[in-house]
């Protein structure tokens, strides 16, 4: 059973500067990906080539921190060798664990690199202890990242019935879909985020100033229209405004960020092993701001769980970098569930 003294802060590193920033501001662990489709944040300008990955691992390990490598997309028959080569590189470079979703790739890693620690990605969509225990028994998975669809009571139920460490998302963007199963972006562009690694890939995105306002489109599909001075968002189908029965609004999901800071004592109490911060696509400044707040909160909880209180300044800082400048407890807070 985990506790506040063992709660691990896992922060995003979309670049080498972001990695160093996360480490410098208190991350216990960073997670990152290669510059290709083997990871689920395959955007231009993000991620690591081999020299930068080696430098990042050296920087983290010299400071006693850990590096996790996301190999969490799904290979196809035509490109299987690219994913197995990524597993081989991960083992060669000495990452502390790989985050995986594909069972076939886990089988390869287990056979070829039995010393390599495996984590089950949120892209694996394992929402039950039975599923997590299967990955543990079959592939030796040591940690599982839960999808952002479970209530706190459901998370506790999973933790009490599995020997696998449980990691949950604590802050960052929300996905209305069950991770690893979204088809919206693929429907619009013909490229699956689960295989190519990018939701709303940049080559399909367009911003256009029109007499009606700034319009954002995904492969020609109008996603949103913004009034002058209104903050524009990246065009993803699930967070667009659409006309339904004559009314235009966020028909699927409003842009907001998950923020579980007030649940931190409860997450520690039920045995959550690690808190994950979303945002590999965000800037080093974002990483610094969020990491600093969560480090302070976790340290405060460790100092005295009975005295823990969310500081207003923490919330103010997190709201500055939240989508829509608002936050929610998401599925965690469902008292009726």
Kindly report the CATH number assigned to the domain that includes residue 13: 3.20.20.70
Q: How far is CA 55 from CA 61, 74, 121, 229, 324, in A?
A: 10, 27, 24, 41, 35
Q: By mean pLDDT, which of 21-30, 159-168, 251-260 is the weakest?
A: 251-260
Please tell me the total count of domains within the chain. Answer: 2
Q: Which of 238, 230, 213, 303 is nearest to 265 (CA)?
A: 303
Residue 106 has pLDDT above 80, yes or no: yes
pLDDT at 335: 61
Query: Do 220 and 265 sit in the same domain of this protein?
Result: no
pLDDT at 68: 98
Averaged pLDDT, 119-140: 96
Task: Examine the fold and report which residue of 249, 264, 283 is the final residue of a domain before the chain moves on.
Answer: 249
Q: Which of 299, 251, 248 is nearest to 275 (CA)?
A: 299
Query: Do 38 and 130 sit in the same domain of this protein?
Result: yes
pLDDT band for position 236 (50/70/90)?
confident
Residue 323 has pLDDT above 80, yes or no: no
Residue 55 has pLDDT above 90, yes or no: yes
Averaged pLDDT, 101-106: 97
Q: Are 86 and 39 in contact (CB under 8 A)?
A: no
279: in domain: yes
189: in domain: yes
Q: Which of 293, 259, 309 is nearest to 26 (CA)?
A: 293
337: in domain: no
Query: Do 37 and 151 sit in the same domain of this protein?
Result: yes
User: What is the span of the domain harbouring residue 300?
Assistant: 8-174+256-332
210: in domain: yes
How many CB atoms within 10 Å of residue 68? Answer: 24
Answer with the residue of higher pLDDT: 329 or 91. 91
Query: Do 210 and 315 sit in the same domain of this protein?
Result: no
pLDDT band for position 228 (50/70/90)?
confident
pLDDT at 2: 55
What is the DSSP pairing of strand 205-210 with strand 118-120? unpaired
Task: Examine the fold and report which residue of 249, 266, 281 is the final residue of a domain before the chain moves on.
Answer: 249
Task: Examine the fold and report which residue of 227, 249, 271 is the final residue of a domain before the chain moves on.
Answer: 249
Dihedral sign, CA of 149, 301, 293, 99?
negative
pLDDT at 37: 93
Averaged pLDDT, 112-134: 96
pLDDT at 52: 97
pLDDT band for position 325 (50/70/90)?
low
Query: Do 16 and 102 sit in the same domain of this protein?
Result: yes
What is the DSSP pairing of strand 257-259 with strand 165-173? antiparallel
Query: Do 57 and 138 sit in the same domain of this protein?
Result: yes
Question: Which residues, other chains included, contact 16 with Cβ-Cβ below 8 Å and sequence gap of 6+?
Answer: 48, 52, 55, 56
Residue 260 has pLDDT above 90, yes or no: yes
162: in domain: yes
Query: Do 55 and 200 sit in the same domain of this protein?
Result: no
179: in domain: no
Query: Do 161 and 219 sit in the same domain of this protein?
Result: no
pLDDT at 177: 59
pLDDT at 127: 93
CB-count exposure of residue 222 (10 Å: 0-12, 13-18, 19+): middle
Query: Do 72 and 146 sit in the same domain of this protein?
Result: yes
Average per-residue pLDDT for the chain: 91
1: in domain: no
2: in domain: no
Averaged pLDDT, 214-235: 88
Query: Do 297 and 209 sit in the same domain of this protein?
Result: no
Averaged pLDDT, 41-62: 94
Query: Do 198 and 316 sit in the same domain of this protein?
Result: no
Residue 159 has pLDDT above 90, yes or no: yes
**CA separation for the pair 218, 191 (Å, rounded):** 12
Query: Do 242 and 124 sit in the same domain of this protein?
Result: no
């Amino acid at each position: 059973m985990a506790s506040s003294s063992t709660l691990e802060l896992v922060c995003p590193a979309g670049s080498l500067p972001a990695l160093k920033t996360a480490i410098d501001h208190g991350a216990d662990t960073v997670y990152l990906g290669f510059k290709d489709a083997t990871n689920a944040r395959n955007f231009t300008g993000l991620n690591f080539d081999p020299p930068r990955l080696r430098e990042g691992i050296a920087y983290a390990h010299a400071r006693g921190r850990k590096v996790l490598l996301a190999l969490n997309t799904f290979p196809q028959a035509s490109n299987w060798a690219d994913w197995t080569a990524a597993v081989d590189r991960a083992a060669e470079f000495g990452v502390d664990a790989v985050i995986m979703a594909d069972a076939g790739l886990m089988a390869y890693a287990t056979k070829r690199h039995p010393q390599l620690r495996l984590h089950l990605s949120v892209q694996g969509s394992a929402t039950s202890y039975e599923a997590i225990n299967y990955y543990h028994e079959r592939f030796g998975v040591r940690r599982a990242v839960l999808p952002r669809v479970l209530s706190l009571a459901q998370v506790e139920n999973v933790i009490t019935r599995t020997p696998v460490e449980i990691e949950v998302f604590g802050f960052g963007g929300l996905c209305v879909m069950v991770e690893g199963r979204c088809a919206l972006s693929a429907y619009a562009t013909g490229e699956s985020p689960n295989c190519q690694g990018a939701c709303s890939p940049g080559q399909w995105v367009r911003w256009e100033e029109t007499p009606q306002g700034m319009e954002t489109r995904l492969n020609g599909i109008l996603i949103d229209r913004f009034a002058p001075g209104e903050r524009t968002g990246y065009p993803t189908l699930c967070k667009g405004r659409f006309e339904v029965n004559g009314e235009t609004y966020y028909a699927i999901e409003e842009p907001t960020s998950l923020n579980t800071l007030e649940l931190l004592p409860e997450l520690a109490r039920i045995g959550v092993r690690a808190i994950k911060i979303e945002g590999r696509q965000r800037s080093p400044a974002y990483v610094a701001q969020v990491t600093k707040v969560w480090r302070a909160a976790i340290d405060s909880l460790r100092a005295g769980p009975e005295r823990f209180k969310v500081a207003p300044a923490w919330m103010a800082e997190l709201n500055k970098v939240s989508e829509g400048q608002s936050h929610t407890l998401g599925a965690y807070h469902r008292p009726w569930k």
